Amino acid sequence: MYKIVSKKEISSKIKSYEIYAPEIAKNAKAGQFIMFRIDDRGERVPLTIAGTNPERGLVRIIFQEVGKSTMHLASLCEGDFIKDFAGPLGHPTKIKKYGTVVAVAGGVGTAEVLPVIKELKKVENKIITIVGARCKDLIILEDELKQESDLLLFATNDGTCGIKGFVTDALKDIINKEIVDVVYAIGPVQMMRAVAELTREKHIETIVSLNPIMLDGTGMCGACRVTVDGKTKFACVDGPEFDAHSVHWEELISRLELFKDFEKISIDKFKYYQECQCRKK
């Protein structure tokens, strides 16, 4: 059992938890993830490790309430326990001195990009971070990103913070002004695909962290398979990071679409369960 040591709401339906998991805290590296399961009846869900405190044995996770399991997780309180919390899983980000790195984050992908830019900054890369969101209220971790970035830019759909537009608009402006050695992108699949198409034209190395449907996190189920450079890869054990220009984006998007209806059914069942519990009280 793994204890929830702290719980904070950092934006609408976005929570930050610190979980007591000393072995994971000691061994985790930027870019890796965990798989959690709330109880014996719960599903296994992957979440990127947003930070660690090895001295206190804490692992930070940040998530948005979008499905049955994350809604259930959000309903827990400090002092509650999670049944399973496995990790660190996946390959860590390759940390080296590239030169100028542009990190592009969309939505909750901001939490996932934070530990990566922290490590890249330590080896003296210039860090330009671009964060995209629907509006200002959905931007998270602004102060922490500022500390790790030489330049921090925002793009919002409604123009309430930064430019009015998409992260690709801000990225296009950057790569037209200066030499960029590598782009690191994480967020919604369509966003990562758009970033990949933009940087392909400029022949800029681009790394993406993929988030396909994942069941066990060990490569046994095959649910997270993606095609990269014409070969089948499993995001959980071969990734989660891949060369953006080698990913078969159409196939990945198509596979994710298959699960949307199933997720809606799960959410409706969970809401019905919560209503029943409230009536009993």
pTM of the predicted model as reported, rounded to 2 decimal places: 0.86
Q: What is the pLDDT of residues 220-259, one digit of tens each?
A: 888 888 999 999 999 989 989 999 999 999 988 888 877 6
Which of these three, 183, 202, 221, is where a domain ends?
202
Same domain, 53 and 128: no
Choose among 68, 6, 69, 57: nearest CA to 28.
Answer: 57
Largest Cα span, the chain: 62
Tell me the CATH number at 195.
3.40.50.80
- Respond yes or no on whether the N-terminal peptide bond of residue 240 is cis (omega within 30° of 0): yes
Q: What is the pLDDT of residues 84-116, one digit of tens each?
A: 999 899 999 999 999 999 999 998 889 999 999
Which of these three, 47, 72, 89, is where a domain ends?
89
Which of these three, 74, 89, 104, is where a domain ends?
89
Same domain, 196 and 255: no
- Cα four-point dihedral sign 6, 7, 8, 14: positive
Contact by Cβ (8 Å): 155, 167: yes
Domain that holds residue 131: 92-202
23 is a domain residue: yes
Same domain, 129 and 191: yes
Over residues 264-273, mean pLDDT: 46
Same domain, 198 and 139: yes
279 is a domain residue: no
271 is a domain residue: no
State the total domains in the chain: 3
What percent of the chain lies above the pLDDT cut of 70? 92
Same domain, 105 and 198: yes
97 is a domain residue: yes
Q: What is the pLDDT of residue 247?
A: 94
